[in-house]
Amino acid sequence: MDYLDSKYFTYGTDNILQCENVPVNEIINKTGTPVYIYSRKFFEDRYKEFTQAFREIKHRVFYSVKANFNLNVIKTLYNLGSGIDVNSEGEFYRAYKAGADPKKMLMAGVGKTADEIKLAIEKDFIMIKAESPEEIELINEIAGKLKKKAKVGIRVNPDVNPQTHPYISTGLSQNKFGVAAPEAEQMFKDYEKYPNISFTGIDMHIGSQVTTVEPFVEAVDKLSEFYFKVKSYGVKIEHFDIGGGVGVTYNNEKSFGIPEFADALIPKLKKLDCEIFFEPGRFLTGNGGILVTKVLFNKRNNNKKFIIVDAAMNDLLRPSIYSAYHHIQPVEISTSDKDIVADIVGPVCESGDFFAKDRTITETKSGKSLAIMSAGAYSMVMSSNYNARRRPAEVIVDGNKFSVVRTRETFDHLLYDEKVI
């Protein structure tokens, strides 16, 4: 079988998979499995690559913490200069605990609660992205009570097709996100009706795991036109926010590179007289993490082979809900092993509990470990306690050292504050 090519996860001369310079075996001897392992260098390099590509224009990156909200991942990107995109009070709390200044945060979300809006105003978030006229009314009312002026961007739905999985497509008019352009235009036109709001931004986010540049170009073209219209009404737009969505390679599918993304967008963005915001999540973290799991059993039902591992859908949900592909490779390669075709499945009592179906994979045995690749984004964050399974530990590697940055949950975590009455 082939192995995913990554300079952050490579095999050492002893044929053991390493994260940076640390053999994965060394980590799992300490933590057990399943465990998430992240490369700090990966996150740093990706952030630098992104900002470097857009250095010609005035821009800011707001790491979308929903992709991976481990405190140390947030802190790593924040320390490099990233702002933070939060979608809930909980994400705010995590970013805050990681040391991020609320003034460098923006608040997104199609359904914010009054508490979330209040928090963003009180803490002077750089922007609240409003997604409906009712939300604008509420922001205006809460800001009035707080005797503050809220800085608000309107998320416009540009009605473009990002050509991604329907569950993560957000920029089409049939999606719940954003405000249709004519309605958004009216909201900007009426800005004087909202004395407690400064309308500072125009915002979009067309979807996630977008693998071609064209939908971004189309959306930026549409919203640039919109930007000039809005400016003509006397609204002082300070930020034009492109959102996240840059796709990454999970298998051998082609995604565009950041230089290509920058080349396509910079000439257009240069025409706008304001700062450009980006909210990448997956691009910064997706290929910087793996989930390591141990083989429990090999079995065969008629002609079908199964490899049953100790991680499950509760630890990594993406294959179950999006049929997402994650490369799976052995932690230890042996040249004598032969390839088989099997489903790689977890212990949860659902047929949807799989990591791969009919996958060609090197034959393995009970006790051996496998690495599920590209598990740095939307992986641990989407884990649950289904089947009363404890969530995995998380480890960050720095060169030739590793730190357990979150230990595996204990059984007491499972009962947190629950009482028998």
Per CB under 6 A, which region of 2-10, 203-211, 223-231, 363-371 contacts ligand LLP?
203-211
Burial class (CB in 10 A: 0-12, 13-18, 19+), 171: buried
Return the residues of window 271-290 that contact ligand LLP according to CB under 6 A.
Answer: 279-283
Residue number with CB closer to ligand LLP (295 or 317)? 317
| Residues recorded for the chain | 421
- Return the residue of 162, 245, 289, 319 that touches ligand LLP, per CB under 6 A: 245
Per CB under 6 A, which region of 92-100, 222-230, 238-246, 255-263 contacts ligand LLP?
238-246
Residue number with CB closer to ligand LLP (281 or 346)? 281
Rounded CA separation 167/157 (Å)? 16
CB of 264 to ligand LLP, least distance (A): 17
User: Cis peptide before 34, with omega less than 30 degrees from 0?
Assistant: yes
CB of 122 to ligand LLP, least distance (A): 22
E strand or H helix that includes residue 211: none
Return the residues of window 79-98 that contact ligand LLP according to CB under 6 A.
Answer: 85
- Return the residue of 23, 102, 158, 244 that touches ligand LLP, per CB under 6 A: 244
E strand or H helix that includes residue 227: helix 214-232
CB of 318 to ligand LLP, least distance (A): 5
- For 390, which DSSP code? P
Residue number with CB closer to ligand LLP (179 or 331)? 179
CB of 20 to ligand LLP, least distance (A): 23
Tell me the per-residue interface mask from 205 to 234 with ligand LLP, x by CB under 6 A, - otherwise: x--xx-------------------------
Residue number with CB closer to ligand LLP (205 or 294)? 205
Helices (H), 233-339: 258-269, 282-285, 318-322
Return the residues of window 39-78 that contact ligand LLP according to CB under 6 A.
Answer: 64, 66-67
Under DSSP, is residue 296 helix (H, G, I), strand (E, B) or coil?
strand
# residues near ligand LLP by CB under 6 A: 21
CB of 304 to ligand LLP, least distance (A): 27
Residue number with CB closer to ligand LLP (50 or 226)? 50
CB of 164 to ligand LLP, least distance (A): 8
E strand or H helix that includes residue 332: none
Helix axis angle for 71-79 and 40-53, nearest 10°, is 40
Q: In sequence order, which residues have a C-beta less than 8 Å from that of residue 208 and are 6 or more positions away?
A: 164, 168, 170, 244, 245, 247, 281, 282
Residue 275 vs residues 8, 48, 142, 172, 382: alpha-carbon distances, Å: 33, 18, 27, 25, 32
Residue 328 vs residues 2, 254, 377: alpha-carbon distances, Å: 10, 19, 16
Residue number with CB closer to ligand LLP (94 or 294)? 94
Tell me the per-residue interface mask from 310 to 349 with ligand LLP, x by CB under 6 A, - otherwise: --------x---x---------------------------
- Return the residue of 378, 389, 394, 395 that touches ligand LLP, per CB under 6 A: 378
Residue nearest ligand LLP, CB atom distance: 244
Beta bridge partner(s), residue 210: 246
Rounded CA separation 75/239 (Å)? 24
- Is 19 a catalytic site residue? no
Q: In sequence order, which residues have a C-beta less than 8 Å from that of residue 35 and are 6 or more positions away?
A: 27, 28, 291, 292, 392, 393, 394, 395, 408
CB of 279 to ligand LLP, least distance (A): 4
E strand or H helix that includes residue 182: helix 181-189
- Return the residue of 4, 17, 35, 108 that touches ligand LLP, per CB under 6 A: 108
Q: Nearest-CA neighbor of 25 among 331, 408, 416?
A: 331
Residue number with CB closer to ligand LLP (139 or 308)? 139
Rounded CA separation 46/309 (Å)? 31
Tokens, residue 35: 């465990």
- Return the residue of 168, 258, 264, 340 that touches ligand LLP, per CB under 6 A: 168
Rounded CA separation 106/120 (Å)? 8
Q: Which of 174, 254, 349, 388 is catalytic?
A: 349
Per CB under 6 A, which region of 142-150, 240-248, 256-264, 339-347 contacts ligand LLP?
240-248
Tokens, residue 331: 């932690």
Hey, which residues are catalytic here? Answer: 349
Site residues (vs ligand LLP, CB under 6 A): 64, 66-67, 85, 108, 168, 205, 208-209, 243-246, 279-283, 318, 322, 378
